[in-house]
Structure 1
């Protein structure tokens, strides 16, 4: 890989220089994908080895276990599903050429693509899909167990046919299936520990190496069914410090970075063969409030905390304007969005609610979050805002894997107060936007309802929507669910930032989705 190696003193110097420059509000639109920004002269790629700089290390190489979009981006180069999303978030064929649905909305029959091989050389067929289903059904700790446990059965009449029967009609089924990656049965036989170290799918790229905490490298799969990729390798590097990540792009050590820090985006766009790409996102920024804590049980306290947060200042300070307010528990880019009455910044109202709830003098809390530059900056903003109503917040940044270990514990072991976090539904459906993070059965360690939010009426609305096929009924039920969450305020509702990436002008074919997930299957360096 012929990339320049960045010196530490250079990264530090550039970080300080960029931070001092500041930035303007974002432009109304970025340069079109695959074309140079206005006024730039496109230069040739120095090599055919793509380096992508991420702000975090990935969680796992086990596709049945991951939930974060960065891990999905990496695994998406190696693994595929029966169906996938196109760039308009519509379901399209992938390893299934076609499918049909019975009138009862319970039975789905998929015709599989022929001539597809796993990286180990074995053939993809119906039995391979069934092996993945069996694996996830046997292990309730796997995240994909929640998907397959809703299926009544999987049958394989022949090598090219998979029949999935659901227990009940499920409006999210086909979207969730787009997240169900298919692993080689030979790899599954080796066990979870081996799979986590040696991925084996049908994707355009195959695994080469992982250095935990530093990088993952993949190389083209010569027998890929849809044609061998054009680049020689893709390396995903974990670079938590924003300034260092931008400096890598400027010097050429990286060809693409995500996320591009919003504070630096206007400064670097159009310079040194760099263009900044932005788009509306499905990302929700929020802080979970542990409603089991005595000081957070009363919803008046939680509402007061929302009134104490100046969302406009948050967007300007943390995202340099590359974000928008969200007046619900998920952004307008997700289906069935229902706008609620805003918690506009109002300190007097916040203080009044605190007094009504018996906490006029405030209390102390801890706030957990990732130890990346922007996350820590966001936590410090929340700390300053809540201090205005007497809530003293201790900011506790952690390495992501450490944080995950602290969060996904049994309820009686939970020490969490608040969690500064973001979430986007990779399935792009309303249920996916809220169930895993707000439904009571999804409290840790099952999933990420770290507010320990418990409203049976909310859970009932979600469950009724799940089995409905009536659009009007779905609109009504999801609007009700959003209203309940908004009024109960188990979160601090902060906003939705745009997805922002930085790339060299010689990079083409990268698709950055609204959920922040990268599709690199068509990437070219020219």
Structure 2
């Protein structure tokens, strides 16, 4: 990488983090038996998985909640609270047979009625739950008997079980829903391996569920999740022994951690795409030439090296390679001269001024600084506006109409936790997905993309789905509602005494097999 591509501020921050890490003491404190602390990069915003749209909060909710299905580390579908599902010939009815040995943390029995209450609650538009669209295909939920529920669909679907496996379709205690109402987000009661004890914004505590249906699990007695946005401070927790697992690990400190005999590096191929959403209904981003120019203006390889220390690959399609129906498009080349040419053709020969938002943490801030420097080289003056996660969420999804939207550019990421192209694309690109309904903060609207998304969603035929998603990805790649950046490798730091804590490709953590030796 040429030195001119390296933001000076980023290198200074990296050097300070390294110096801080090296200067820490090496003695590991004694740990209480079976108790761990996990350091994460953002605040937890809530604990009702049906009403969350950020990965950190959804990951935390997995301590307490489960769905009918889930995924293994390779994103293969596995039954959890379901034992099996029968699907009729035209894929319009799913008859789910439930486990019979499960209770919620409050002693309420898990059964078909509990599933119906949860799914009807999530499907009801009046509840304004953020994960409502996961069950959009369902027309009605029928209780067949105590441990059998039938899902009747509006149209054939070959992907419904993937949506039921998403954390947003987790099952809450019906008693807790009735008791706490909207406050259920602060009083999580599920069937999961851990039981809630307390939560402040930066500190969540849970203890072992003594009545967990998976006998012999979990192995840990207690888990604390601490939110620490500054990378150096998060690393300090690991180095001092105050935390036994941290994510994300500052990539520039990997070599430091590797030299510590007490610690290990965990890397996981991800399905997380990093991109900049461009508000296509606001000038100058309503002009496709401007959007394409910004894609030419960014050196993706340098971006990955500077921001993520090389842990990732340039994005070559709107979805990550690990997603079903991924269709490779190539990589937008780094060509500043072409970028300037397109800006001039669009009427901006001297560039323009605009603003970029991001959830404020060390890596996101560094990414925006890099983008600021690269875009500045083609005349685009970028004002940086890092926002605390709660503020960003309110401002991004608070607008009721595209006209009200303040966002111009937003650096973020997307982890499609169903493993399927529909959830990788529809929430971000369908015209029905504008905030506050879903996450199309580019306010991208294209009739052909909408039509193909509907085709892919409303069929169980794999060939038809592939054709639809191939066409969508080609159109989106050409029309550039985003600056396409990278698909990253997840990097975490771990105390070697801790094993079995699994990081999934969507960044979420699973705790029930974790062991502290």
Aligning the two structures, in what range does the TM-score lie when normalised by the shorter sequence?
Answer: over 0.9
SS in 2 for 1:263: helix
Query: Do the aligned partners of 2:21 and 2:232 also contact (CA within 8 Å) in 1?
Result: no
Q: Are 2:101 and 1:110 equivalent residues in the alignment?
A: no
Compute the TM-score of the two structures, normalised by the length of structure 2: 0.92
CA RMSD of aligned residues (A): 2.0
Q: Does 1:222 align with 2:215?
A: no
Aligned twin of 1:427:
418
Deviations 1:188-239 (A, max 9, x none): 1024333112111011111000012x11111011111112422121000000
The reply on whether 1:340 has 2:329 as its aligned counterpart is yes
Residue of structure 2 equivalent to 1:312: 301
The answer to whether the aligner puts 1:509 opposite 2:500 as a matched pair is yes
State how far apart, in whole Å, the 1-side matches of 2:204 and 2:396 are.
25
Which has the higher mean CA deviation after the structures are superposed, 289-298 or 42-51? 42-51
Structure 1 residues 15 and 506: CA distance shift in structure 2, 3 A: farther
Aligned match of 1:125: 111
Deviation of 1:136 (Å) = 1.7
Secondary structure of 1:295's counterpart equals: coil
| Number of equivalenced pairs | 495
Q: Name the structure 1 match of 2:39.
A: 53
Deviates more, 1:148-157 or 1:125-134: 148-157
How do 1:285-324 residues align onto structure 2 when only pairs under 5 Å count?
A: 285-324=274-313
Counterpart of 1:157 (choices 144, 148, 161) is 144
Separation in 1, partners of 2:181, 2:41: 26
Counterpart pick for 1:349 among 314, 338, 341? 338
Give 1:154 deviation, angstroms. Answer: 0.8
Within 2, Cα distance between the matches of 1:144 and 1:442? Answer: 12
CA gap 1:367/1:243 in 2 versus in 1, 3 angstroms = same
- Inter-CA distance 17–62: structure 2 relative to 1 (3 Å threshold): closer
SS in 2 for 1:64: helix
SS in structure 1 at match of 2:191:
coil
Aligned to 2:454: 463
Gaps of 5+ in 1: 1-12, 23-41
| 1:172 counterpart residue number | 159
Query: Of the candidates 385, 389, 400, which is equivalent to residue 410 of structure 1?
Result: 400
Q: Map 1:358-507 to 2 at 5 A.
A: 358-408=347-397, 409-411=399-401, 412-507=403-498
Shift of 1:43: 11
Shift of 1:17: 5.4
**Are the aligned partners of 1:315 and 1:495 in contact in 2 as well (CA < 8 Å)?**
yes
Post-superposition offset of 1:439: 1.1
Query: What is the TM-score normalised by the length of structure 1?
Result: 0.91
- Distance in 1 separating the partners of 2:21 and 2:80: 45
Equivalent position of 2:7 in the other structure: none
Distance 1:416 1:17 in 2: 31
Q: CA deviation at 1:319?
A: 0.7
Which residue of structure 2 aligns with residue 5 of structure 1?
A: none
Residue 149 to residue 472, structure 1, CA distance change in 2 (3 Å): closer
Cα deviation digits, residues 449-499 of structure 1 (max 9, x gap): 111101110111111111233333222211110011110011000111101
**Could you tell me how far 1:343 is from its partner in structure 2?**
1.4
1:135-175, Cα deviation, whole Å (9 max, x unpaired): 22333510232123321111112111111111111233110
Alignment partner, residue 70 of structure 1: 56
CA shift digits 1:370-409 (9 cap, x unpaired): 1101100000111111111111110000100100000111
Is 489-498 or 329-338 further displaced after alignment?
329-338
